[in-house]
Structure 1
Amino acid sequence: MADMMGVMLDCSRNGVLRPQQVKKYAELIAKMGYNTLMLYTEDTYEVNNQPYFGYRRGRYTKEELKELDAFCNSIGVTLMPCIQTLAHLNCIFRWQGVYDGVQDIDDILLAGEDGTYQLIDDMFATIAECFSTKDIHIGMDEAYLVGLGEYLRRHGPQKRFDVINNHLKKVCEIARKYDLKPMIWSDMFCKLALNTANYYTQADTAVIAEMPEMPENISLVYWDYYSSDYDRYVRMLKTNLMFNRPVVFAGGAWTWTGFGPKNQYSIDNTAAALRACRDCGVKDIFITIWGDDGSECSMFAVLPALLYAAEARKGEVDIDRLKEKFLEIVGADWDSFMLLDKIQLNNRFDTTLLYSDAFAGLSDWRYDGTEDAYFAALADEIAAQKQVGSFSYMFKKYEMLCRALAIKSDLGIRTRKAYLDGDKAALEKLAKEDYPEAICRIEAFYQAHRTEWLTEKRPQGFEVQDIRLGGVQQRLRSCIATLLSYVSGELSQIEELEEPVLPSDGGTHCWRKLVTAGVISHNVH
């Protein structure tokens, strides 16, 4: 079997790629030299005997998966299932009375429970029916609280490594029943085996020999996309190899920190990672494209990072030839796509600017007042790009985003300054001109974003974008009403603007942490 060079598409964070778009992606990466395409589906695929699994989530039907499998095979690409069999299944637990009996805690399945293994059996039966490959990624990452919920109540304190390892053995037995060859994300296994919360930097590999072995029919996937440190990758690859199981490396093409991509950051990290893989003899590789917090970035926006990874796998990369090849394959200009990286301003997320409340100013302390001009110029630069292939709709979205950010980015800062200066004339101008203009531009961005979404993805999940972007506009309308009431003398003060803005962790791109300091929901699901 040829060494794997794959791409993983996240179809679980509200954005389920339309089958026709999956085919388009498969064709593009096949031309780049990839031979594997993974669909990361937590609950977004039909499962035998499980009508609530993926209900209202835009799940793929069995017929669609079979069709995609056949299509990918016809162009020399293996379509590989990438699912979850322990954690990251929070969406199924919203259906009360359906999956309660197989829940340990939060998004984690209950290890040792017969119902859990019946569910996994149904998953594997469906996978075996729909995919021609026998390879399967069964997840098991980030199950930080495994064994600490219902499992703890039933069984009392247990070694958590034993809990996850025994669960893994049972899952692998079911996989063997269907002749499937599983791989898992290695982080949880390594953390528990090494007794560390952060095995990326604090692993004591001396304890590995003391741990029981994992099942024979398993491969470990070391995932890492946060560093350009070659030595770190070498150290971590060697740590994973010490378990004496096949090791796969998973890098990342960054699409999960807002609406904009991070191609150059992905390229820099990939270069170091793939060099380490070559030196450590790790030959199976794939690049993940995650959709954390709502799949707001197009998966096509990181095509440059994917082409770079495919070429870097072979050795040194000729950047001029790379650009020529990108034009040949994608039908678009490399530099035009790389321009989109500029939306993430010095690692200050576009979502921070867009979602931050104009009165609360939770992130205002991080900005210097130059953002409006920056995004106005960037909008014009994006609009001027002519060689964008079939992705004009995507570039229109990013142009409209920048035009919205050109006025929204410092709206709260200007509002607070005028208020503290006692300048009611400036506040009235803001309320009657700038705030309405911001609403208008955000609406234009919303329409372009909606066009992109419905072109690439199923409609299920876009309701979250409706809520978020509609919420931004309605909040601005509310701020207008408050400002005008203050200007007219109806209000003696604006309470939100009386409170000083304090520095806080500005590293988040997560919507619920940006829009309010209040409570969105107590429900962890």
Structure 2
Amino acid sequence: DIARGGVPKVDTFKEILRLLFLLKYNFFAIYFEDLYPWKSYPSIGLKRGKLTLDEWNEILEYGGKLGIDVFPSLELAGHMENILTLPEFRKYSEWHRPREGCLDVSDEEARKFAYTLLKEALDTSPSKYIHIGGDETWAMGRGKSLDKTLTYKGPDLYLMHHKNMINMVKERNKKPILWGDMLTGMYLRRKEGELWSKLVEDRIWSEVIIANWDYSPSPKEYFVRKIRLFSDRGYVQIACPGYSNWNKYYPDFDTALKNISNFLGAAREEKIFGFMATAWGDDGEECLFSHLYPLILATMEIAEGNGRWEEKWITISGENEKILEFRKDVGKPEVSNYIKKVLFNPVQEIKDYPIYNIWRKILEKYRDTMLPEPLKFIYNCIKVGIEKVDGKVNVSDYIALSNQYTYLWLKERKHNGLERIVARFWSAASQLDLIKKL
């Protein structure tokens, strides 16, 4: 996911591709939303650091030399908020608030707009595969389209729109990939889910690869049932676990590894087509891409090896066991899921969290450890968090974190989106300054 805040520099893409090559991955999907290098609509993604066509071609070429098929992952129904909020495209929004992100596919002009975007992506992507999105279109049928008929037609509109796109892809002798959640209504409320679940019976889905996603630490039996929703109908699917790196500065390793192990274990037993691990960036993509590398290795070891990834990580990274231990300790949910809350929420909301004994032990355990810069930042976040709870934090501590994070961001990413993250540190600093003056 490069769409939620952090667009990698080309060198970062190449570093990721080298890691994928080393670990024997064969595909790399880039989730774009509005950041694909479309020429038809130059205003799309312009201020958010979208890839240029030259950058895209350089990434494609580099991946090709390594035997890795790079393809785009698009959104052409939902998750279009960064397009629909632009003045010239607001008219295509299903909902009265374009930030909701759903396209009004009842409108022929809006559909043609989406198909133009798809056509250009097909023209500029040599891969056999293209991901056409299709997830979380919760507002479809509830806005302008409902006003026209006063009848809820969400599933029908979804089917019509995606049939058209599937046929466009097939005409190019390519294979479309589609998120599977709306086909079964699996994440909707019960009554609404029942309406959407009828979609799965349409045979058009036999023409796609269904990306069956779930990021929960559920048991293997749960994932077997989820896989069979599609396999019992003869559909081709890939299992899509997640790295639990969204909305946080460091991945929740415990949740991610349990999700990966159980989902891919079920996928292997059910003999499905393959898997696609996902790393999302909701709320600004704070988690540095380098923090994901151990999980990328662990995923392949769980999928194709014996699951013991730690020794291989030490070998390929050059890190020692103590640093790996730090990675795993800060990847526990008591740490990774709370850093952001502790740093930026009011003291009265965070002071009773049952986590601080763990945090203090981490500070003591790794006080003299020479950590790589990205991990030192996480250590410093924990340190500032403890100082905040103890009433010892200073304005300068937040400014130092901001400066350290800015340096790390700019090493691997374009500048676009950084201002949103830096503003949180400076806001926390200004609030602290105000409190100290009262």
- Does TM, normalized by the shorter one, top 0.5? yes
Select between 324-333 and 362-371 the one with higher mean Cα deviation: 362-371
Which string of whole-angstrom CA distances, capped at 9 and with x for unpartnered residues, describes residues 269-312 of structure 1?
21111110011111310110111111111122122222121112
Q: Give the match for residue 93 of structure 2.
A: 103
Query: How much does 1:474 deviate?
Result: 0.4
Select between 13-22 and 367-376 the one with higher mean Cα deviation: 367-376
In 1, Cα distance between equivalents of 2:172 and 2:115: 9
Which string of whole-angstrom CA distances, capped at 9 and with x for unpartnered residues, describes residues 317-361 of structure 1?
3x3xx3332233333346524523433552651111001123xx2
Which string of whole-angstrom CA distances, capped at 9 and with x for unpartnered residues, describes residues 118-157 of structure 1?
3223322332233220201111111111110111112321
Q: Give the match for residue 384 of structure 1.
A: 369
Q: How does 1:234-383 map to 2 (within 5 A)?
A: 234-317=224-307, 319=308, 322-333=309-320, 336-343=323-330, 346=334, 348-358=337-347, 361-367=348-354, 370=357, 373-374=360-361, 376-377=363-364, 380=367
Paired residue secondary structure (2:13): helix
Distance 1:231 1:439, change over 3 A: same
Q: Give the match for residue 47 of structure 2.
A: 56
Q: How does 1:75-474 map to 2 (within 5 A)?
A: 75-96=66-87, 98-105=88-95, 106-191=100-185, 197=189, 211-317=201-307, 319=308, 322-333=309-320, 336-343=323-330, 346=334, 348-358=337-347, 361-367=348-354, 370=357, 373-374=360-361, 376-377=363-364, 380=367, 384-385=369-370, 392-411=372-391, 434=392, 437-474=393-430
Paired residue secondary structure (1:287): coil
Paired residue secondary structure (1:339): helix
Distance 1:155 1:410, change over 3 A: farther
Contact in 2 for aligned 1:196/1:203 (Cα 8 Å): yes
Contact in 2 for aligned 1:52/1:92 (Cα 8 Å): no
Paired residue secondary structure (2:276): strand
Contact in 2 for aligned 1:222/1:250 (Cα 8 Å): yes
Paired residue secondary structure (2:256): helix
In 2, Cα distance between equivalents of 1:363 and 1:314: 41
Distance 1:379 1:444, change over 3 A: farther
Contact in 1 for aligned 2:184/2:199 (Cα 8 Å): no
Query: Aligned partner of 2:349: which letter?
Result: L
Query: How much does 1:263 deviate?
Result: 2.2
Q: Please tell me whether residue 34 in structure 1 is matched to residue 25 in structure 2.
A: yes
Q: Give the match for residue 73 of structure 1.
A: 64
Q: Give the match for residue 36 of structure 2.
A: 45
Q: TM-score, normalised by structure 1?
A: 0.76
In 2, Cα distance between equivalents of 1:163 and 1:148: 11
Contact in 2 for aligned 1:394/1:452 (Cα 8 Å): yes
Paired residue secondary structure (2:8): coil
Query: How much does 1:203 deviate?
Result: 8.1
Query: How much does 1:450 deviate?
Result: 0.8
Q: Give the match for residue 389 of structure 1.
A: none
Which string of whole-angstrom CA distances, capped at 9 and with x for unpartnered residues, describes residues 393-450 of structure 1?
2123223222212202344xxxxxxxxxxxxxxxxxxxxxx3xx43222222111111
Contact in 2 for aligned 1:23/1:71 (Cα 8 Å): yes
Query: Aligned partner of 1:171: which letter?
Result: M
Query: How much does 1:371 deviate?
Result: 6.5
Paired residue secondary structure (1:153): helix
In 1, Cα distance between equivalents of 2:378 and 2:237: 38
Distance 1:198 1:34, change over 3 A: farther
Contact in 1 for aligned 2:243/2:295 (Cα 8 Å): yes
Select between 40-49 and 177-186 the one with higher mean Cα deviation: 177-186
Which string of whole-angstrom CA distances, capped at 9 and with x for unpartnered residues, describes residues 451-487 of structure 1?
11001111000010121111000010111111xxxxx
In 1, Cα distance between equivalents of 2:138 and 2:4: 20
In 2, Cα distance between equivalents of 1:460 and 1:346: 30
Which string of whole-angstrom CA distances, capped at 9 and with x for unpartnered residues, describes residues 32-73 of structure 1?
121111111111122131122112111011111111001001
Give 1 or 2 for the bigger CA radius of gyration.
1
Query: How much does 1:16 deviate?
Result: 0.9
Matched positions, count: 431
In 1, Cα distance between equivalents of 2:133 and 2:157: 16
In 2, Cα distance between equivalents of 1:379 and 1:210: 51
Select between 109-118 and 293-302 the one with higher mean Cα deviation: 109-118
Uncovered stretches (5+) of structure 1, i.e. residues with no partner? 1-9, 387-391, 412-433, 483-525
Distance 1:338 1:263, change over 3 A: farther
Paired residue secondary structure (1:340): helix
Distance 1:30 1:312, change over 3 A: same
Taking only the aligned residue pairs, the percentage that are identical comes to 19
Query: How much does 1:376 deviate?
Result: 3.4
Distance 1:405 1:85, change over 3 A: same
Select between 141-150 and 394-403 the one with higher mean Cα deviation: 394-403
Query: Aligned partner of 1:407: which letter?
Result: E
In 2, Cα distance between equivalents of 1:210 and 1:384: 53
Paired residue secondary structure (1:288): coil
Contact in 1 for aligned 2:146/2:153 (Cα 8 Å): no
Q: TM-score, normalised by structure 2?
A: 0.91
Select between 123-132 and 226-235 the one with higher mean Cα deviation: 123-132
Query: Aligned partner of 1:76: which letter?
Result: G
Query: How much does 1:210 deviate?
Result: 8.9
Query: Aligned partner of 1:346: which letter?
Result: E
Paired residue secondary structure (1:443): helix
Contact in 1 for aligned 2:211/2:237 (Cα 8 Å): yes
Query: How much does 1:184 deviate?
Result: 1.0
Query: Aligned partner of 1:232: which letter?
Result: Y
In 2, Cα distance between equivalents of 1:334 and 1:116: 54
Contact in 1 for aligned 2:239/2:276 (Cα 8 Å): yes
Contact in 2 for aligned 1:258/1:351 (Cα 8 Å): yes
